[in-house]
């Protein structure tokens, strides 16, 4: 039995669908199973990675594999990056070990490293390090920007393209990304279950194209059939706005930490192919987003 944390989220929903299609026995875990995206016919349990006792209840004798997906994009005083990414992972790992679960797959993020500038990546690194030292048969995936029908990234800019006279470019718009389809990220995770050589490995995942932020915005405009001005916003201004939004709003539209990450290129070191042993054709950004914003 596979237990998926964050099972009703953007990536979790797709993962549950693919696991069911491959006839895996799978159960989802979420803080509010009725409040997200569910796959009909599958079982979902209520559990919170910040409350270890709820994890112990979910680790039945049938569970032999954990796929841990839970993450947040904004740091909040009541729910910090360290709470969710580091301590939450620690709770899941310890619950897995206590239950005798050995196989463990973790979703991290491209850009995660020991000397990362962003608190988001710092907390992801601490989570990875804890897992590496756990003794579990782990595999870590670090995807670049993930796109898909339920994403917040492409859908937000597509909505802006329809109603705003201009779209913002972060900085000069030349930061590079390697957007990858959610179906392709999940496919790698599912394949890793049958590939023993993936144990103990960390994989950076990117799509088949390296695109600048401006190229991404231009593609969204092309697919939606809109013509809009593109306004370059200096990162210094965006980071200041992020600081202000964080102090004034409970759910800020952007944060200082997000702008630190946006300043950096988010691409793999191995080019536009999947790392071995994964080998299948990746969806291009334009073809992928046509399915849900075209």
Backbone Cα Rg of the chain: 19
**What is this structure's pTM?**
0.96
- Confidence band for 126, pLDDT divided at 50, 70 and 90: very high
pLDDT above 70 coverage of the chain, percent: 100
Of 3.40.50.720, 3.40.350.10, 3.30.70.20, 3.30.1120.80, the CATH number of 2-145+179-206+267-278 is 3.40.50.720
Predicted local distance difference test score (pLDDT) of residue 169: 97
Cα(4)–Cα(13) distance, integer angstroms = 10
Predicted local distance difference test score (pLDDT) of residue 180: 99
Predicted local distance difference test score (pLDDT) of residue 226: 94
Predicted local distance difference test score (pLDDT) of residue 138: 99
Tell me the three state secondary structure of residue 73.
coil
Spell out the domain ranges in the chain.
Answer: 2-145+179-206+267-278
Predicted local distance difference test score (pLDDT) of residue 157: 95
End-to-end CA distance of the chain: 38
DSSP H or E stretch at residue 28: strand 26-30
Mean pLDDT, residues 186-207: 98
- Confidence band for 294, pLDDT divided at 50, 70 and 90: confident
Of 79 and 267, which is predicted with more confidence?
267
- Confidence band for 78, pLDDT divided at 50, 70 and 90: confident
Cα(2)–Cα(60) distance, integer angstroms = 11
**Cis peptide bond prior to 277, omega within 30° of 0:** yes
Predicted local distance difference test score (pLDDT) of residue 255: 95
Render the chain in DSSP notation, one character per residue.
-EEEETTTSHHHHHHHHHHHHTT--EEEEESSTTSS---TT-EEEE--TT-HHHHHHH--TT--EEEE----SS-BTTB-HIIIIIIHHHHHHHHHHHTT--EEEEE--TT--TT-SSHHHHHHHHHHHHHHTS-SEEEEEEESSEE-TT-SHHHHHHHHHHH-SEEEEETTS--EE--EEHHHHHHHHHHHTT-GGGTTEEEEE--S--EEHHHHHHHHHHHHT---EEEEE-HHHHHHHHHHHHHH-SS-SS-HHHHHHHHS-B--SSTTSPPTT---PPPPHHHHHHHHH-
Cα(234)–Cα(186) distance, integer angstroms = 35
Mean pLDDT, residues 12-16: 98
Contact 126, 85 (CB under 8 A): yes
Predicted local distance difference test score (pLDDT) of residue 250: 84
221-277: pLDDT as tens digits:
999 999 999 999 999 999 999 999 998 988 888 999 999 999 999 999 999 999 999
Mean pLDDT, residues 121-140: 98
Phi, psi of 104 (to 5 degrees): -145, 125
Please say if the pLDDT value at position 41 is more than 90: yes
DSSP H or E stretch at residue 184: helix 182-192
Cα(159)–Cα(224) distance, integer angstroms = 9
Predicted local distance difference test score (pLDDT) of residue 36: 85
199-237: pLDDT as tens digits:
999 999 999 999 999 999 999 999 999 999 999 999 999
Mean pLDDT, residues 26-50: 94
Mean pLDDT, residues 41-70: 94
Cα(60)–Cα(99) distance, integer angstroms = 7
Please say if the pLDDT value at position 38 is more than 90: yes
Render 8-23 in DSSP notation, one character per residue.
TSHHHHHHHHHHHHTT
pLDDT above 90 coverage of the chain, percent: 93
- Report the helix count and the strand count for the chain, using DSSP H and E: 11, 13
Average pLDDT, the chain: 96
274-289: pLDDT as tens digits:
999 999 999 999 999 9
Please say if the pLDDT value at position 57 is more than 90: no
1-10: pLDDT as tens digits:
999 999 999 9
Mean pLDDT, residues 136-159: 97
DSSP H or E stretch at residue 166: strand 166-170
């Amino acid at each position: 039995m596979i237990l998926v944390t964050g099972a009703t989220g953007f990536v979790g929903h797709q993962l549950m669908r693919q696991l069911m299609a491959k006839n895996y026995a799978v159960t989802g875990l979420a803080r509010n199973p009725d409040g997200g995206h569910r796959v009909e016919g599958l079982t979902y349990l209520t559990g919170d990675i910040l409350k270890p006792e709820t994890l112990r209840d979910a680790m039945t004798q049938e569970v032999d594999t954990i796929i841990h997906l839970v993450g947040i994009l904004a740091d909040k005083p009541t729910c910090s990056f360290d709470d969710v990414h580091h301590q939450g992972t620690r709770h899941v790992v310890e619950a897995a070990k206590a239950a005798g679960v050995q196989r463990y797959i973790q979703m991290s993020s491209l850009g995660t490293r020991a000397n990362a500038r962003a608190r988001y990546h710092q907390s992801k690194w601490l989570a990875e390090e804890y897992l590496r030292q756990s003794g579990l048969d782990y595999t870590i995936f670090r995807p670049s920007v993930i796109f898909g029908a339920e994403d917040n990234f492409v859908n937000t800019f597509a909505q802006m393209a329809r109603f705003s006279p201009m779209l913002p470019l972060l900085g000069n718009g030349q930061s590079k990304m390697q957007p990858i389809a959610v179906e392709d990220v999940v496919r790698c995770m599912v394949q890793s279950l049958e590939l023993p050589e993936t144990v103990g490995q960390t994989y950076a995942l990117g799509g088949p194209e390296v695109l600048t932020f401006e190229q991404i915005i231009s593609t969204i405009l092309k697919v939606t059939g809109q013509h809009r001005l593109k306004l370059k916003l200096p990162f210094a201004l965006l980071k200041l706005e992020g600081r202000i939004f964080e102090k004034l709003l409970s759910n800020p539209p952007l944060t200082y930490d997000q702008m630190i990450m946006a300043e950096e290129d988010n691409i793999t070191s191995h080019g536009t192919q999947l790392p071995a042993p994964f080998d299948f054709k990746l969806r291009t950004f334009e073809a992928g987003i046509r399915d849900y914003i075209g």
